[in-house]
Chains A and B, each alone.
Chain A
Amino acid sequence: MIEEPGLPITTVALGEPVNPANAPRPSNDSERLVFRQLYETLVRIDCMGRVVPGLASSWRRSIDGQTWIVTLPPGARFSDGSPVAASAVLALWSRDGVGGDLQPHVNRLVQSIISVDDDTLAILLRNPRVDAPYALAHTDLALAKPVSGAAWPLGTRSAHVTSDRASTTITTAAGTSIRFLAPRGDPRDLLDESVDLLITRDRAALDYAATLPPFQSVPLAWQRTQVLLTPGRARTSPSLSEEARQTLARDAVRGEARNAVGPFWWQGQSDCEIAPPRASELGWRSSGRVVYDATDGAARDLAERLVGLDRRIYQRATGLTGEALALARRRGGDAGYVMSFDGHPLDPCRELQVVMERTPWLDPETIVPLVDIRMRAIVRRGHSGIVSEGDGGLRIAGADDQR
């Protein structure tokens, strides 16, 4: 992302809290950043969208063309030195430890897995692409080995992690360390504390960084798409015009935004196996709320704009989090839900299945795309080593390079 050679990045400011219990599957951008430095998938997608080796050294299609034969390198090890053999992958991915009963998050992507030998796995993906095993780069399939009594599971990168309330520190085998500072009330305070990297959408922080000569601001990919999920919306209902979306991006959303640009991954998924939308309950009446994730500023802006535009339908904007948000979304008793979707999921079908599980009443064809948003990386000048990957994740050069 930053091509020029420079000093390594050692201090990173985070925008959200990091919970080790979620590892290796991130629930926010900060976890995505931290987990990426510790846990690997079998393959990776580079910034050009190509499949490149991750933990696996090679892969090929089987003779029947249905299964991917993945080979692990002989020296693959967890951070505690224990080997990463085919049997270890089976043990982590399945509940029975031999690949017969896959973990639910694995099962969404993988149909079956067989250990061919100590270093070779035969993996049948649910949505196979003939060209490359993209699904194997999904963070759901990152390898993390739980350790009894330890907060952090072991990853396959040669680094160990420690964390406290203020920060999380990843130290590589070579002795270099990256310190991730926990979020503060105002991200500008972090810029004043000699951080090397801050990834944010906060307008005030970006404006402040622009006034600070030691920093430069680098845009990241348009990774998230804000959408409106509306219970009871018919497929024939008119969608937002591009102009309207542009207006939303310009007038409603604070921070960098653009009109949502298609094609959208949830459209045209006829081959994807999803349950039909749940019928509306008799006597259903909208609560008049537009519900959004209270931790998502762009979603809040959009929800409030919807209320400002048409209060007869959208009477008030309500921010929810956690279980309350999940429950409201599952029930579908509100006027609308402004949600943030991954703009380019590795496995759209799998992503749609997850969306439908969380929103059982939803007809995917009625999802209204609103705007695309992206973050910016504020990087201290003279530092480099940030790698943007194809799934939108950022990898800080240093951790895996030490292996």
Chain B
Amino acid sequence: MSLRTRLLLAFAVVVLIPIALLAFGLRQEMTRRLTDEYQLRVNSVVGVIREDLSRESAGIDDRLMSLESALVNDNRFRLAAVAGVESEREYLLDYAGTAMRLTGLSMLQIEDGDERIISSGHFRNEHGRVESRLTTALANARGGVALVTARSADREFLALARARPFAIGGRTFTLIGGIVVDEGFLARLARDRAIVVSLIYPGGEVSTVRLPSTVRLKPDTTATTRETMNPAAVGELQLPLIKTDAGAPLEVVEARLQVTQPLTPLRALVRSADSWFLFTAAGAGVVALVLAVWVSSRISRPLATLAEKTAVLDLDRLDVQFDAGTDEVGRLSRLLGDLASRLRSSTARVREAERRATVGDLARQINHDIKNGLIPLRNVMRHLAQVERDEPAALPSVFAERRQTVDSSIAYLETLATSYQRLSRPPDRRDCDLNALVTDVVRAMQAHEHVECVTRLAANLPRVVGDPIAFRRILENVMSNAVDSLESKPGRVTVSTEVVEPVAGASAIRVVVADTGRGMSAEETGKIFNDFYTTKEGGTGLGLSIVRRLVMDLQGTLGVESTPGKGTRITIDVPTGSMKRT
């Protein structure tokens, strides 16, 4: 994960989590407090409605009382209801209607002592029906507050009703009056349009809000359904409901006057708070993102630059300039610059010392080698000078006799010169067929009669990329050493090629040169690739050293296994490849 990403995440955590926690906490607290407030309000409204219902009921009773006093003094009513005068019958039938309108009631009926309706205001032509036990049920209502189901000709309705018995001429009558309990009545009770008042009773519901028909079909579950769908503060008031269905006995059931304060304002408030928190979180997130990008850029860019410069830092590349700064990264950069500077100085000193040591070694070796070549020549020259001085006549024969030594020394010196020249020759690169090179080199080596040269070359050997002269020099040196290790004794030198799969990277071609010579000890084996190390008399010690450098130039590896008295096995692995591909 990059520094920038980490910084971004850190900013997000630092900014957003506190905002989220604040939002959650505030939301919870706001909901709890407002819900409590609403519940208190609903409870208060329930109390007020209870008092209102009592007041309304008392008002109905007052109106019935006024009506009673009017009826007692109404002679036409007396004639019709008591004396049964036929001509006043229509007056009687219409009386309740007129009285109902005058008293502002929405339900009024007059029953005789047999509980038979003799005049009805809300349903004029219902006269004659017996409303059994309605008067008693109304009289028994708690606090005088009771609801009744009443009917007009075209509908059924609920009414808050009272009953008032009275007597005329020794006959008992009862006035039953009420006001309709409908949406308007409940709305007046609610006073506040935000509060929903519903009257829920077996078989129906009246509410200040219109509910979906699917909900209204199941009145008993309406409240629960509504509460589930829409959380609200709810309060209830139980009221007796007298059901007076025609053809069925009178039944008193419980109706629930439910006061509901929908938490819509709360939800709106919470939604508003949520919106603000979301906006805040989004704004903070954007600011955090910008800050994170800016800060990370301020931090990571110099670090990245430092990393790039450090990546190219090498003993051969110590000229990298590190910019100094005032901050921590600047100080680190300055330290790295100082380090590189010190490394440059140290490297220069080391290289100078190394160069001097190498030159010294080389000079000593050249001195030694030249001396080795010149000593025989000096001896021959001294011998020839002695012969010329002492026996001038024998000089030709002695020269002839010592000529080989001179030639040998000169050849040695030429070889030495060639070898030193080869140390600095630049490599060439081309596709090489190792099998062909092996064959050529082996053919040249077959001049030695005591050596049995054996080749085991893999068919279809892939080509390798490199300097063919380098390959030839590698093979010549290695095979020459192998032949030399036989020390003029009969023996065998085996050269094989094969394709091997290295552990990592591309495949390689392995060339193995094995001899049956004198072999080497482990100590000798560890030194054979050192410059100027030789076990041969007259050897320069540069052959295998050159081989090692050439193999390294070819990106190859070099291995040696040797057992004293049994022979040596040199393994050269060179990566396959083609100029066409590379």
Chain A residues within 8 Å of B, Cβ to Cβ: 203, 250-252, 254, 300-301, 303-305, 307-309, 311-312, 316-319
Contacts and interface: CB of A to CB of B under 8 A. Distances in A.
B154 interface: yes
Contacts of A316: 153-155
Going nearest first, the 6 A-B pairs with the smallest beta carbon separation are: A304-B153, A308-B126, A305-B125, A311-B246, A317-B153, A304-B125
Interface string B341-367: 000000000000000000000000000
A43 to B, nearest CB: 41
29 contacts: A203-B90, A250-B86, A251-B89, A251-B125, A254-B90, A254-B94, A301-B124, A303-B153, A304-B123, A304-B124, A304-B125, A304-B126, A307-B123, A307-B126, A307-B153, A308-B123, A308-B125, A308-B126, A308-B127, A308-B129, A308-B153, A309-B128, A311-B246, A311-B247, A312-B246, A316-B153, A316-B154, A317-B153, A318-B154
B108 interface: no
Nearest to A302: B125
Contacts of B89: 250-251
Contacts of A307: 123, 125-126, 153
A307 B94 CA distance: 17
B93 interface: yes
Given A303-B153, A307-B153, A251 B247 contact: no
A268 B191 CA distance: 65
B216 interface: no
B123 to A, nearest CB: 6
Contacts of A203: 90
B151 interface: yes
A276 to B, nearest CB: 34
Nearest to A310: B246
Nearest to A250: B89
A308 B122 CA distance: 11
Task: Please classify how large the interface on chain B is, using the bins under 10, 10 to 19, 20 to 34, 35 or more.
Answer: 10 to 19
Contacts of B123: 304, 307-308
Interface string B141-176: 000000000010111000000000000000000000
Contact of A308 (B128, B155, B247): B128
Given A251-B93, A304-B153, A312 B247 contact: yes
Given A250-B89, A308-B123, 12 more contacts: A252-B125, A254-B90, A304-B123, A304-B124, A304-B125, A304-B153, A305-B125, A307-B153, A308-B126, A308-B127, A311-B246, A312-B246
Given A311-B247, A312-B246, A312-B247, A251 B155 contact: no
B88 to A, nearest CB: 12
A309 B94 CA distance: 17
Nearest to B246: A311
A312 B247 CA distance: 8
A104 B312 CA distance: 113
Given A311-B246, A311-B247, A251 B127 contact: yes
Nearest to B154: A316
Contacts of A305: 125
Contacts of A308: 123, 125-129, 153
A11 B129 CA distance: 46
A106 to B, nearest CB: 40
A300 B153 CA distance: 9
Contacts of B94: 254
A238 B507 CA distance: 118
Nearest to A314: B153
A339 to B, nearest CB: 17
Contacts of A251: 89, 93, 125, 127-128
B309 to A, nearest CB: 96
Interface string B231-268: 00000000000000011000000000000000000000
A301 B154 CA distance: 12
A43 B128 CA distance: 49
Contacts of A311: 151, 246-247
B324 to A, nearest CB: 99
B536 to A, nearest CB: 126
Nearest to A247: B128
B106 to A, nearest CB: 17
A315 B139 CA distance: 29
A304 B93 CA distance: 13
Interface in B288-311: none
Contacts of A319: 154
B513 to A, nearest CB: 112
B154 A317 contact: yes
A252 B127 CA distance: 9
Nearest to A311: B246
A316 B125 CA distance: 12
Contacts of B247: 311-312
Nearest to B93: A251
Nearest to A252: B125
Nearest to A303: B153
Q: Looking at B90, B123, B154, which has the most chain A CB atoms within 10 Å of its CB?
A: B154
Nearest to A319: B154
A308 B151 CA distance: 9
A301 B246 contact: no
B437 to A, nearest CB: 109
Contacts of B127: 251, 308
Nearest to B129: A308
B215 to A, nearest CB: 24
A156 to B, nearest CB: 44
Interface in B101-149: 123-129
Nearest to B247: A312
A203 B127 CA distance: 19
A252 B125 CA distance: 6
Contacts of A312: 246-247
Contacts of A300: 153
A24 B541 CA distance: 148
A308 B124 CA distance: 9
Contacts of B93: 251
Contacts of A309: 128
A319 B154 CA distance: 9
Given A311-B246, A311-B247, A312-B247, A301 B155 contact: no
Contacts of B129: 308
A384 B124 CA distance: 38
A250 B124 CA distance: 13
A392 B218 CA distance: 55
A151 B460 CA distance: 120
A301 B125 contact: yes
A151 to B, nearest CB: 37
A203 B89 CA distance: 14
Interface string B84-104: 001001100110000000000
A246 B154 CA distance: 24
A343 B447 CA distance: 157
Contacts of B90: 203, 254
A251 B127 CA distance: 9
B389 to A, nearest CB: 161
A316 B156 CA distance: 9
A53 to B, nearest CB: 44
By CB atoms of chain A within 10 A, which of B129, B153, B154 has the most? B153
* Residue of B86, B90, B129 most packed against chain A (CB within 10 A): B90
A301 B153 CA distance: 10
A286 to B, nearest CB: 16
Among B125, B127, B128, which residue has the most Cβ atoms of chain A within 10 A?
Answer: B125
A299 B74 CA distance: 30
A318 B90 CA distance: 23
Contacts of B126: 304, 307-308
Nearest to B120: A308
